[in-house]
Structure 1
Amino acid sequence: MEQIVVVGSLNMDFAVEVKEMPEKGETILGKKVSLIPGGKGANQAYAVSRLGKKVQMIGAVGTDIFGDKLVGNLEKAGVGTEGICRVENRESGQAFVFVNEAGENSITVIQGANQDLTEARVDENEERIDRCDAVVIQLEVPVPTVVHTAQVARKKGKLVYLDPAPARPDLPDELFASVDIMKPNETELKILTGMEVSTGKEIILAAKSLLKKGVGAVIVTLGEKGCVLVTEKLVKEFPARKVNAVDTTAAGDSFTAGFLAAYEPDGEKREENLEEALLFAGKVSAIAVTRKGAQSSIPTLAEVMEEQKGED
């Protein structure tokens, strides 16, 4: 796939470094705060471009200084930003990210202008969808927009990839039926299906329930345990690469970008291509978690290849 469209969120991340996450009712002293461009959609677009693919971003920001910085950062990475609209009298999306010494994070998102990414605004960018090979969506923008985007892309024969975060239990069935590949983590899988996911067997059963709703393939990311691929024909685990994680903020978005950059949706070799793309995705996310921040942590294709050369 050479041309990818990402339809989703742009947020300015306020990354707060803390020793430990605060308990309920507790006041703690943070170590440092940094302003870093983020948002699941923007992170994925930024990462796909860093990995050498052409990518267009469809989204919405406010007319504030954060909007300027969010769009400018994507442009520096080579992302096409003509599909990003500026919404008057609305603040850009913001995320408050707490990161502890173990590299674990907790995130609160203020949607801001992301709420103004409507179905009509997606339709205004139909030409971009026409020219692409795959459309990537998440759930930090209105669900009706997500459903509409998936259905439009499916009708046009495009690969539809859904990162279902933040997960919610009330997604309409027509969305699942329009998704080729879905990538939930364990928590998201539990929310989406209402099923237990405490064991490997339970995770597989929950993933298969999504297949029954029409999803083509499910990739369940398991953090330091890697991921598991579930299709109608295959169930396979992929162990995580051992690294010293310092910040997992953009790990999932880097994984998504790595997968899309490597995946070749050839009908005859689909299962083989899925596996190869997942291995590459693991390499990309393993590098990202060793660095701080969202877009600031995402590696280039050259860095991934250099890391692989060192292992060989």
Structure 2
Amino acid sequence: MKKVIVFGSINMDLVARSPRLPIPGETILGRDFFTAPGGKGANQAVASARLGIPTQLVGRIGDDNFGRSLLTHLQTFGVQTEHILIDKTAHSGVAIIAVDDSGQNNIIVVPGANGCVNGTDVKNLINLWDNAAVLLLQFEIPLTAVISAAKAAKSVGVKVILDPAPAQIDIPDDFYPLVDIITPNEIEAAQLVGFPVNNFDTAANAASVLLQKGVGTAIVKLGAQGVYCATADSTFFISAFRVQTVDTVAAGDAFNGGLVAAIAEGRSLREGVVWGAAAGAISTTKPGAMSSMCDRETLDRFLNERGFSG
């Protein structure tokens, strides 16, 4: 089994629950509040590690209580944290999350130390390439660092997987050919291609545009509809797994964790998408981010019950 390297954000989530999400300018009463470790990079590292894959996280935290708590949580979940830098000049990143009774959410991310990630952190990746199958990237750290990391991975033959979240419009054209697999949801795909993405046909069109931009494989996540996947040679669609949704926070992160775990085990792209869809579905049945990531036994049982081999 090869290892997964995640280069990305590490946040403390500040979560408020309410019957519904407020409209702009409105104040409503919530009924619950809690803090939980999060950040797309950290969530995806936990999702991979929980599935039994050796997973190294590279990023930054602040020299504060949130940072120390985040480091402890990551280690508890089995993530290798030796290359997480403690930044004494910035606070740890935070995400302010509102969740309603249907499980929908909105999120404000304040980067903190994540916004300070730079070439020094990219250099920390150089000693990690040995036996690495995948470098997993997101956009909650500076784009310049993401691009540099992708170039470094590409130069040594490590597969680059990009979760283009949060959505951005200023991605340079020469970045796309560095990406082996891109995994946007509907909103992110629409932002990347310039037209609405909300069903099978528009997902297929978006994937085609992303392939034309130079990515190797485009995986468009359509939430409850399923997942569309396209390469230069083939396309397929995986229907969403039906579950009782409690909280959609970090479902996309769980998907990416499942996908990279399958790739690290040398499984096929289709198996990777199925694992991702299953891990994402399972995560929506529990509240929170890292705490909603499933272990390997749970994933295998879930897939077996639905006619898939784990």
TM-score, shorter chain, exceeding 0.5: yes
- Which runs of structure 2 are paired with 1:2-151 in the superposition (5 Å)? 2-151=2-151
Counterpart CA distance in 2 for 1:283 and 1:200 is 19
Kindly provide the amino acid, as one letter, of the partner of residue 7 in structure 1: F
Could you say which residue in structure 2 is the equivalent of 1:283?
278
Counterpart CA distance in 1 for 2:237 and 2:160 is 23
Q: Secondary structure at the match of 1:59?
A: strand
Kindly provide the amino acid, as one letter, of the partner of residue 268 in structure 2: N
Could you say which residue in structure 1 is the equivalent of 2:235?
235
Counterpart CA distance in 1 for 2:68 and 2:240 is 36
Contact 2:10 2:40 in 1 (8 A): yes
How far does the alpha carbon of each residue in 1:219-264 deviate from its partner, in whole angstroms, 9 at most, with x for none? 0001111110011122211110111101010100111111111126
Counterpart CA distance in 2 for 1:191 and 1:308 is 32
Counterpart CA distance in 2 for 1:144 and 1:161 is 16
Shift in Å at residue 170 of structure 1? 0.9
Could you say which residue in structure 1 is the equivalent of 2:171?
171
How far does the alpha carbon of each residue in 1:63-116 deviate from its partner, in whole angstroms, 9 at most, with x for none? 010000111111111111011001113110000111111111110000000011
Q: Secondary structure at the match of 2:218?
A: strand
RMSD: 1.5
Query: Runs of at least 4 residues of structure 1 off by over 3 A?
Result: 308-312
Shift in Å at residue 61 of structure 1? 0.5
Q: Structure 1: state its 5+ residue gaps.
A: 267-271
Contact 2:53 2:264 in 1 (8 A): no
Indicate yes or no: 2:301 matched with 1:306.
yes
Provide the identity percentage: 38
Kindly provide the amino acid, as one letter, of the partner of residue 25 in structure 1: G
TM-score norm. by structure 2 comes to 0.95
Shift in Å at residue 199 of structure 1? 4.3
Shift in Å at residue 131 of structure 1? 3.9
Shift in Å at residue 308 of structure 1? 3.4
TM-score norm. by structure 1 comes to 0.95
Counterpart CA distance in 2 for 1:265 and 1:280 is 12
- Which runs of structure 2 are paired with 1:207-218 in the superposition (5 Å)? 207-218=207-218
Q: Structure 1 residues 109, 193: CA separation in 2 closer, same or farther (over 3 Å shift)?
A: same
Shift in Å at residue 197 of structure 1? 2.2
Instruction: Indicate the larger mover: 26-35 or 118-127.
Output: 118-127
Counterpart CA distance in 2 for 1:308 and 1:208 is 29
Counterpart CA distance in 1 for 2:125 and 2:153 is 12
Kindly provide the amino acid, as one letter, of the partner of residue 36 in structure 1: A
Contact 2:9 2:39 in 1 (8 A): yes
Q: Structure 1 residues 68, 102: CA separation in 2 closer, same or farther (over 3 Å shift)?
A: same
Instruction: Give the paired residue count.
Output: 307
Contact 1:4 1:53 in 2 (8 A): yes
Could you say which residue in structure 1 is the equivalent of 2:191?
191
Q: Structure 2: state its 5+ residue gaps.
A: none
Contact 1:37 1:294 in 2 (8 A): yes
Shift in Å at residue 265 of structure 1? 8.8
Could you say which residue in structure 1 is the equivalent of 2:290?
295
Counterpart CA distance in 2 for 1:130 and 1:26 is 52
Q: Structure 1 residues 265, 300: CA separation in 2 closer, same or farther (over 3 Å shift)?
A: closer
Counterpart CA distance in 1 for 2:123 and 2:263 is 26
Kindly provide the amino acid, as one letter, of the partner of residue 289 in structure 2: A
Counterpart CA distance in 2 for 1:303 and 1:201 is 33
Could you say which residue in structure 2 is the equivalent of 1:247?
247
